[in-house]
Chain A
Amino acid sequence: SQQGEEDPQALSIQEGENATMNCSYKTSINNLQWYRQNSGRGLVHLILIRSNEREKHSGRLRVTLDTSKKSSSLLITASRAADTASYFCATYSPNDYKLSFGAGTTVTVRA
Chain B
Amino acid sequence: GEEVAQTPKHLVRGEGQKAKLYCAPIKGHSYVFWYQQVLKNEFKFLISFQNENVFDETGMPKERFSAKCLPNSPCSLEIQATKLEDSAVYFCASSPATGVYGYTFGSGTRLTVV
Which residues of A pack against B, CB within 8 Å? 2, 30-31, 33, 35, 41-45, 48, 86, 88, 90, 92, 97-101, 103-104
**B51 in contact (CB, < 8 A):** no
Q: How far is the CA of A29 from the CA of B107 in the complex (A)?
A: 27
CB of A42 within 8 A of CB of B107, answer yes
CB of B102 within 8 A of CB of A48, answer yes
CB of A33 within 8 A of CB of B102, answer yes
List chain B residues, Cβ under 8 A from A99.
33, 45, 103
Closest to A86 in B: B40
Q: How far is the CA of A45 from the CA of B91 in the complex (A)?
A: 14
Q: Which secondary structure characterizes the binding site on chain A?
A: strand
CB of B41 within 8 A of CB of A45, answer no
CB of B104 within 8 A of CB of A98, answer no
Q: How far is the CA of A100 from the CA of B108 in the complex (A)?
A: 18
CB of B105 within 8 A of CB of A103, answer no
Q: How far is the CA of A98 from the CA of B59 in the complex (A)?
A: 11
Instruction: Among B41, B55, B104, point to the contact of A97 (Cβ < 8 A).
Output: B55
Instruction: Among B42, B56, B106, point to the contact of A101 (Cβ < 8 A).
Output: B42
List chain B residues, Cβ under 8 A from A98.
33, 45, 48, 56, 98
Q: How far is the CA of A8 from the CA of B41 in the complex (A)?
A: 13
CB of B108 within 8 A of CB of A42, answer yes
Expressed in whole angstroms, the minimum distance between the Cβ of A106 and any Cβ of chain B is 9
Instruction: Among A31, A88, A101, point to the contact of B99 (Cβ < 8 A).
Output: A31
Expressed in whole angstroms, the minimum distance between the Cβ of B55 and any Cβ of chain A is 7
List chain A residues, Cβ under 8 A from B43.
43, 88, 90, 101
List chain B residues, Cβ under 8 A from A45.
102-105
CB of B91 within 8 A of CB of A100, answer no
